[in-house]
Structure 1
Amino acid sequence: MKKKETFIYGVLLGVLGIVLFSSKAVMVKLAYRYNIDALSMLLLRMLFAFPFYVVIAYVYRNEKQEITQRKDYLWLVFFGFVGYYLASYFDFVGLTYIKASLERIILFIYPTIVLLFNKLFLKKAITKLQKLAILITYIGIIITFGSEVSISGSNTYLGGFFVLLSAVTYASYLVGSGWLIPKFGVMRFTAFAMLVSCICVFVHYGLFSRVDILNYPWQVYALGLCIAVFATVIPSFLVSISIKLINSSNFAVVAGIGPITTIILAVIFLNESLTVLQVVGTLVVISGILLISKRKEN
Structure 2
Amino acid sequence: MKKQNLLGAICLSLAASIWGGMYVVSKYVLDFIPPLTLVWLRYIIAYVLLFVILKVVQRKNKKTEVIKKKDWLLIVWIGFIGYFVSVSCQFIGTKLSDAHTGSLITSATPTFMVIFAWLLLKEKLTIRKVISMLLATIGVVTVIGWDSNLGTYMLGSIILVGAAITWALLSVYAKIASSRLSSLLVTTYGLLFAIIFTTPAMMWELQTHNIYYNSILIILGVVYLGVVSTAGAFYLWNKGMELMDAGIGSLFFFFQPIVGSFLGWLLLNEKLSSNFFIGGMLILVGVVIATFQKEFNQSIQFKKTSANKRV
TM-score range, shorter chain: 0.7 to 0.9
Indicate which of 270, 275, 284 corresponds to 2:282.
284
- Alignment correspondent of 1:11: 9
Structure 1 stretch 167-176 or stretch 92-101: which is displaced more? Answer: 92-101
| Structure 2 counterpart of 1:37, from 24, 34, 37 | 34
- My pick for the range that moved more, 181-190 or 258-267, is 258-267
Instruction: Give 3-state SS (helix, strand or coil) of 1:184's partner.
Output: coil
Q: CA deviation at 1:213?
A: 5.8
Task: Give the structure 2 partner of residue 177 of structure 1.
Answer: 174
Are 2:46 and 2:231, in contact at CA under 8 Å, matched by a contact in 1? Answer: yes
From 166, 177, 192, the counterpart of 1:195: 192
Cα deviation, residue 175, structure 1? 0.8
Measure the CA separation in 2 of the matches of 1:284 and 1:142. 10
Q: String of CA shifts for 1:16-60, please: whole Å, max 9, x gaps.
A: 1110022223322222334x3222222222232231122133234
Residues 123 and 245 in structure 2, CA contact (< 8 A), matched pair in contact too = no
Distance in 2 between the 1:214 and 1:195 partners?
Answer: 23
Q: Aligned pair 1:245/2:243, yes or no?
A: yes
- Choose 59-68 or 260-269, whichever is displaced more: 59-68
Name the residue aligned to 2:305. Answer: none
Please list, as runs of the form range in 1=range in 2, the aligned pairs for 1:91-240 lying within 5 A after superposition.
Answer: 91-146=90-145, 149-151=147-149, 156-207=153-204, 209-210=206-207, 214-218=211-215, 219-240=217-238
Deviations 1:94-141 (A, max 9, x none): 333444443222111111111111222333221222112111101211
Report the Cα distance in structure 2 between the residues aligned to 1:13 and 1:242, rounded to whole angstroms. Answer: 5
SS, match of residue 174 in structure 1: helix
Say whether the 8 Å CA contact 1:101–1:259 is kept in structure 2. no
Kindly provide the amino acid, as one letter, of the partner of residue 282 in structure 1: G
TM-score by length of 1: 0.87
Separation (CA, whole Å) in 2 of partners of 1:211 and 1:56: 36
1:268 Cα deviation after fit: 2.9
Where in structure 1 are there 5+ consecutive unaligned residues?
Answer: none
Q: Deviations over 1:131-164 (max 9, x none)?
A: 12111101211222235x242685x444333322
Counterpart CA distance in 2 for 1:266 and 1:158 is 27
- Provide the C-alpha distance between the structure 2 equivalents of 1:66 and 1:40, rounded to a whole number of angstroms: 32
**Deviation of residue 65 (structure 1)?**
9.2
CA distance in 1: counterparts of 2:254 and 2:53, whole angstroms: 29
Q: What displacement does 1:206 show?
A: 3.0
Judge conservation of contact 1:65–1:183 (CA < 8 Å) in 2: no
Asked whether the equivalents of residues 143 and 279 of structure 2 are also in contact (C-alpha less than 8 Å), the reply is yes
Q: Is the 8 A contact 1:114 1:175 kept in 2?
A: yes
Give the stretch that moved more between structures: 131-140 or 114-123.
114-123
Q: Which whole-Å CA distance do the structure 1 matches of 2:196 and 2:50 have between them?
A: 12
- Distance, in Å, in 2 between the alignment partners of 1:67 and 1:265 is 42
Distance 2:25 2:159 in 1: 18
Q: Which moved more, 1:212-221 or 1:252-261?
A: 212-221
Q: Indicate whether 1:260 and 2:254 are aligned.
A: no
**Cα RMSD over matched residues?**
2.6
Q: Once the 2 structures are TM-superposed, how far is the Cα of residue 251 of structure 1 from its aligned partner?
A: 1.1
In the alignment, the residues of structure 1 paired with residue 156 and residue 269 of structure 2 have an alpha-carbon distance, to the nearest angstrom, of 21
Q: CA deviation at 1:273?
A: 1.8
Aligned: 1:274 with 2:272: yes
Task: Name the CA shift for 1:208/1:139 in 2 (closer, same or farther; >3 Å).
Answer: closer
> Separation in 2 of the partners of 1:39 and 1:66?
32
2:46 aligned residue? 49
Partner of 2:18: 20
Q: Which residue of 2 is the match for residue 71 of structure 1?
A: 70
Q: What is the rounded CA distance, in whole Å, between the counterparts of 1:246 and 1:97 in structure 2?
A: 35
Q: Which amino acid aligns with 2:238?
A: S
TM-score normalised per structure 2: 0.84
Equivalent pair of 1:67/1:183 in contact (CA under 8 Å): no
Structure 2 unpaired stretches of 5+:
299-311
1:188 Cα offset (Å): 0.9
Q: 1:268 is aligned with what amino acid?
A: L
